[in-house]
Structure 1
Amino acid sequence: MLVSQETMQPLHFSYKTQTNKLHIASLGLALVLLISLVSHTNSCAEHEKTSLLQFLAGLSHDGGIAASWQDGTDCCKWEGITCSRDRMITNIVLAAKGLEGPISQSLGILTELQHLNLSHNSLSGGLPLELVSSSSMIILDVSFNQLNGTLNEMPSSTPARSLQVLNISSNLFAGQFPSTTWKAMENLTTLNVSNNSFTGQIPTHLCKSSPSISVLELYFNKFSGSIPPALGDCSKLRMLRAGHNNLSGPLPDELFNATTLEYLSFPNNGLHGAIDSTQITDLRNLVILDIGGNKFSGMIPDSIGRLKKLEELHLNNNNMSGELPSALSNCRNLIMIDLKINHFSGELTKVNFSNLPNLQTLDVYLNNFSGTIPESIYSCSNLIALRVSSNKLDGQLSPRIGDLKGLSFLALDTNSFRNITNAIHVLKSSGNLTTLLIGDNFKGEIMPDDDTIDGFENLQVLDIKNCQLSGQLPQWISRLTNLEMLLLNSNQLTGPILGLISFLPFLFFMDVSDNRFTGEIPQTLMEMPMLKPTENAIHLDPRIFELPLYNGPSLQHRVVSSFPTVLNLSHNYFTGVIPPQIGQLKMLVVLDFSFNKLSGHIPQSICNLTNLQVLDLSSNNLTGAIPAALNSLNFLSAFNISNNDLEGPIPSGGQFNTFQNSSFDGNPKLCGSMLTHKCDSAEGHQAVILPRKQSDYKVSFVIAFSAFFGVGVLYDQLVLSRYFGQFTYWFMKTRSY
């Protein structure tokens, strides 16, 4: 049958339409499948989400991350989480989030996790071995937490791991430090285990198993034994810090083969021996050398001058001796020189300090240096802190000291300097001075009281004690408007004490004991602003000493405000009564009016001084009874009213049960259970006993304070004690309380 062409056309059109419809349908199906597939791959793996949620569930405090970590959402978008292109978790960064609780071992199943940072939280418990032994982990940082326990050894058969950075510093880890774990850490570049309590020896084969190690930080632990000679095989080691441990022996010769070292630090151990004059030059890249606080002896070798990159030299607190080598002048990049507490001698002028333009700190405290302060030191225009205390230096201060425009800390005390008038006049131009310690010099001279003395506008601490200076308290001191501490004790100053001192707005520490001051205690002293609670709370100076001040071998002060509040007028000739307004000075910690000629009663208002720890009113002419309410001074630990004419019963209970009998000697009219003179019933009735409710309050308060004090001591040990330096600074008179 023949079909016309017209008849065929519609049939042909119909075929094309059907084909196009099929193509469109196929494309739509493909798009649906693609969208479905993309939607699935844009979410993190379910098992990895579960791992994170297990970690979150184990925390006792999540720091708010739970608001982001919601089941049913894509965990790759959660706070602190980063994923790879294939939606696998690679980074967890949750530093300083306030997290508390254990680290779940579930994080160990994240097979592509490369970077885990949980530092600066309050995490506790152990460190899961699954994290340390992870085959994918590159950076693991759990520093500054409260993790504890021991680090488990990894089996010696463990394959090589990818870990490059391990930081577990500032935790509570203890026990034997692992020795075999590091055999699997062939890629390790940084190991920081500082500030824990690890024991045992430093691993001897660390450099062999981890040839790329460049940073090794072991300080503040309990490592013992000698320094492993094999550390010299660390061909890439730049930083080696192992201070504050129990290491002993000499620096091994092999250590000087680590020629890439830039930072070598072993302070406060038991190391000994001399610095090798030839091998030290091999460490030509050294920037910081810190071996202070050991038992090193001998001289500083001339070869020290070949360390051209040296910026800090810490040889303090050793047994080193001899003169300083002139070659020290060749270390032109020096910023700090710390030689304190050794046996160095000779003249400082052997070093040409004008070759050290970057020098900021020079500390030669407690040596045997003689002669004068070298003129070349005044060319160090960047000098901030200069301490030459406790040597045998003499002469007068050069006017050129005014060239040190940035000088903030100057300690010249305990030498044989002369002409205090000249010293004050040349120093007044040092506008940046905050700490000036010039006591125990200028013996037998006259305190300068020139009306032209001004300046010192930034001075916070002024120490002119133990000079046997005569004269009166000078007016210029009352113009030191930023002064916080004033020490004029152990001189021969006479006349009345200036009430103007009380108007120094920030003064909280005043010691004018062991002088010859006369007259009554000025009423204006009872208005000292910083000893009143409101003003004291307002003024909290954050500035730190350029060099730490010490009271004795263990208590160090980095900030002025760390000193106690003190008012010490003892060993003078003050007369009259103790002003009753004394009770306004509620921030006082030490009050000492002993060895004067004060009369009258002990004012009842002293019982308002609830922060008092030391109260000494001994060797006066005081009369009347001991205020029974003194029993409420919960912090009072030293109390002395001996050698007066007091009478009546000694309060019982509380702190009074802790004071020695000698605290009451020389008062024949006193009675009490601890004295030979017992009180009769009438006298005993006068001693007010605290009611039960108030006594319970006292007990609770003391317990709370003890807990607070314990935390403070721990903080002092972990933080403050890490700072270098030592300087005996007596903030009370030398006799012990």
Structure 2
Amino acid sequence: MAHNSLYGVVDERIVNLTNLIILDLNSNQPSGNIPSNTGTPSSLKFMILHTNNLAGSLPQYLLNCTNLIELNLRFNNFEGVISMFNFSKFVHLSKIDLQRNYFTCIFPVSLYSCKSLRAIRLSFNDIEGQIQPEILSLKSLSFLSLGGTRLTNVTGAMKILMRCESFVALFFSYNFLGEEIPADGEMVEFNGFQNLQVLSISQLQFLRSLDPSFNNFSGDIPNQISNLINLERLDLSMNQLSGEIPTSITSLTFLASFNVSHNNLQGLIPKSTQLQGFDISAFEGNPKLCGAPLPMSAPERLVLMKMIRKPKTWRMNIIKFHGFMFLSVLGSFSDSGEFVVL
């Protein structure tokens, strides 16, 4: 019954459907509270009510739905202190999504007892507290989104979460406001995130050092990294990053240390006083990457040699090629392979 124009209050008799397995009313217009009768569809496995106008608190009879696999209530008007709700009864719960409601609480620690959890999204609720080491007991957890809450202690969170080898995506934007990541010996390293593909901590405006080197990160370097305006050290080496180095990185004016070596980057290195000032070792190990400060590659030298072979006349210009200045000759090759001056 998803994606219809259903509206009104959810009928209380729905709790009498004791054999109901899937309740999916997402993307409609129902309003009011979830029925609070003591009856309950105890066989319920999927409660998918997101993107509606539902309100009220989570009814306690949901605790009888011990077969629940997915609870998706995002984009509603639910409220209440969810830390008082005992999630530990949901031994089969794989996904919980309460994004953009009005829940308030310290992070509900009873979720740590849901050993089957693969995805937790509690973002944009009034949730506070710190990430606790108990989260390490969720061996299958791969997705965690807590953006737009009031979490604290980013250093402690990273030190704990980097030990979760199953993580694929972590979202912490609009958290840890005003915190500064410790530098030098206390700096949090990301070497433990063996499978992490997405890390969002964009509101860390005081971040001075970012080192996710020696991992399996893939894909393009995100442009959003330029939002870390105080960044002084960026080490993306020894990953599987591809695409070009984004020109937005040239706006990181405080960058004193930079390393993208041993990836699969390609194209021209963006021109800036800082990037061209770094050592060649910061870019090596990317066969398709070119431009200063890298030396001209063998194929580039070969093209240059062919261009100057047996010219009849010269039309000379001083041009720059990948940061090197040299004489150019305007011409082309004939079908026989000889150079023909234009």
Q: TM-score w.r.t. structure 1 length?
A: 0.34
Residues 349 and 474 of structure 1: CA distance in aligned 2, closer, same or farther (over 3 Å): same
Aligned to 1:635: none
Counterpart amino acid of residue 273 in structure 2? G
Q: CA deviation at 1:274?
A: 1.3
Q: Tell me how far apart the structure 2 counterparts of residues 494 and 382 of structure 1 sit (CA, whole Å).
A: 38
Residues 360 and 508 of structure 1: CA distance in aligned 2, closer, same or farther (over 3 Å): farther
Q: Tell me how far apart the structure 2 counterparts of residues 366 and 377 of structure 1 sit (CA, whole Å).
A: 18
1:355 partnered with 2:89 = yes
Q: Tell me how far apart the structure 2 counterparts of residues 311 and 287 of structure 1 sit (CA, whole Å).
A: 5
1:451-508 deviation digits (Å, cap 9, x = unpaired): 674411111111111232x242233x2233335466545445332x43x315421365
Aligned to 1:466: 203
User: Rg: which structure is higher?
Assistant: 1
Q: Answer whether contact 1:329 1:352 (CA < 8 A) is retained.
A: yes
Q: Which of 268, 272, 293 in structure 1 is aligned with 2:7?
A: 272
Q: Tell me how far apart the structure 2 counterparts of residues 515 and 389 of structure 1 sit (CA, whole Å).
A: 32
Q: CA deviation at 1:441?
A: 0.2
Counterpart amino acid of residue 44 in structure 2? L
Q: CA deviation at 1:304?
A: 7.6
Residues 396 and 488 of structure 1: CA distance in aligned 2, closer, same or farther (over 3 Å): farther
Counterpart amino acid of residue 195 in structure 2? N
Q: Tell me how far apart the structure 1 counterparts of residues 196 and 60 of structure 2 sit (CA, whole Å).
A: 34
Q: CA deviation at 1:405?
A: 0.9
Aligned to 2:20: 286
User: Secondary structure of the residue that 2:240 maps to in structure 1?
Assistant: coil
Counterpart amino acid of residue 518 in structure 1? T
1:456 partnered with 2:183 = no
| Aligned residues between the structures | 278
Q: CA deviation at 1:429?
A: 2.0
Q: CA deviation at 1:530?
A: 5.1
More helix by share: 1
Counterpart amino acid of residue 376 in structure 1? S
Q: Answer whether contact 1:464 1:488 (CA < 8 A) is retained.
A: no
1:318 partnered with 2:52 = yes
Q: Which has the higher contact order (CA 8 A, sep 6+)?
A: 2
User: Secondary structure of the residue that 1:302 maps to in structure 2?
Assistant: coil
Question: Pairwise CA RMSD of aligned residues?
Answer: 3.5
Aligned to 2:71: 337
Q: Which of 211, 217, 231 in structure 2 is aligned with 1:482?
A: 217
Counterpart amino acid of residue 576 in structure 1? T
User: Secondary structure of the residue that 1:376 maps to in structure 2?
Assistant: helix
Q: CA deviation at 1:313?
A: 0.4
Matches within 5 A, 1:517-596: 517-518=252-253, 525=260, 528-529=263-264, 531=266, 575-576=272-273, 584=288
1:175-234 deviation digits (Å, cap 9, x = unpaired): xxxxxxxxxxxxxxxxxxxxxxxxxxxxxxxxxxxxxxxxxxxxxxxxxxxxxxxxxxxx
Q: Answer whether contact 1:288 1:310 (CA < 8 A) is retained.
A: yes
Q: CA deviation at 1:328?
A: 1.4
Residues 530 and 321 of structure 1: CA distance in aligned 2, closer, same or farther (over 3 Å): farther
Residues 326 and 377 of structure 1: CA distance in aligned 2, closer, same or farther (over 3 Å): same
Q: Tell me how far apart the structure 1 counterparts of residues 245 and 103 of structure 2 sit (CA, whole Å).
A: 32
Q: CA deviation at 1:303?
A: 3.2
Aligned to 1:506: 241
Q: Answer whether contact 1:408 1:433 (CA < 8 A) is retained.
A: yes
Counterpart amino acid of residue 416 in structure 1? R
User: Secondary structure of the residue that 1:297 maps to in structure 2?
Assistant: strand
Q: Tell me how far apart the structure 2 counterparts of residues 509 and 326 of structure 1 sit (CA, whole Å).
A: 52
User: Secondary structure of the residue that 2:209 maps to in structure 1?
Assistant: coil
More strand by share: 2
Q: CA deviation at 1:280?
A: 0.6
Q: Which of 137, 140, 144 in structure 2 is aligned with 1:403?
A: 137
Q: Answer whether contact 1:436 1:461 (CA < 8 A) is retained.
A: yes
Q: Which of 152, 156, 160 in structure 2 is aligned with 1:418?
A: 152
Aligned to 1:443: 177
Counterpart amino acid of residue 466 in structure 1? Q
User: Secondary structure of the residue that 1:377 maps to in structure 2?
Assistant: helix
Aligned to 1:383: 117
Q: Answer whether contact 1:298 1:319 (CA < 8 A) is retained.
A: yes
Q: CA deviation at 1:575?
A: 4.4
Residues 322 and 491 of structure 1: CA distance in aligned 2, closer, same or farther (over 3 Å): farther
Residues 514 and 299 of structure 1: CA distance in aligned 2, closer, same or farther (over 3 Å): farther
User: Secondary structure of the residue that 2:156 maps to in structure 1?
Assistant: helix
Counterpart amino acid of residue 131 in structure 2? L
1:433 partnered with 2:167 = yes
Q: Answer whether contact 1:280 1:304 (CA < 8 A) is retained.
A: no
Q: Tell me how far apart the structure 2 counterparts of residues 302 and 512 of structure 1 sit (CA, whole Å).
A: 55
Aligned to 1:644: none
Q: CA deviation at 1:275?
A: 1.1
Q: CA deviation at 1:377?
A: 0.5
Residues 325 and 517 of structure 1: CA distance in aligned 2, closer, same or farther (over 3 Å): same
Q: Answer whether contact 1:302 1:328 (CA < 8 A) is retained.
A: no
Q: Tell me how far apart the structure 2 counterparts of residues 353 and 474 of structure 1 sit (CA, whole Å).
A: 35
Q: Tell me how far apart the structure 2 counterparts of residues 380 and 298 of structure 1 sit (CA, whole Å).
A: 29
User: Secondary structure of the residue that 2:80 maps to in structure 1?
Assistant: strand
Q: CA deviation at 1:436?
A: 0.9
Q: Answer whether contact 2:264 2:288 (CA < 8 A) is retained.
A: no
Q: Tell me how far apart the structure 2 counterparts of residues 489 and 577 of structure 1 sit (CA, whole Å).
A: 14
Q: TM-score w.r.t. structure 2 length?
A: 0.71
Counterpart amino acid of residue 474 in structure 1? L
Residues 526 and 409 of structure 1: CA distance in aligned 2, closer, same or farther (over 3 Å): same
Counterpart amino acid of residue 4 in structure 2? N
Q: CA deviation at 1:525?
A: 4.7
Residues 347 and 513 of structure 1: CA distance in aligned 2, closer, same or farther (over 3 Å): farther
User: Secondary structure of the residue that 1:506 maps to in structure 2?
Assistant: strand
Counterpart amino acid of residue 51 in structure 2? N
Q: Tell me how far apart the structure 2 counterparts of residues 525 and 406 of structure 1 sit (CA, whole Å).
A: 31
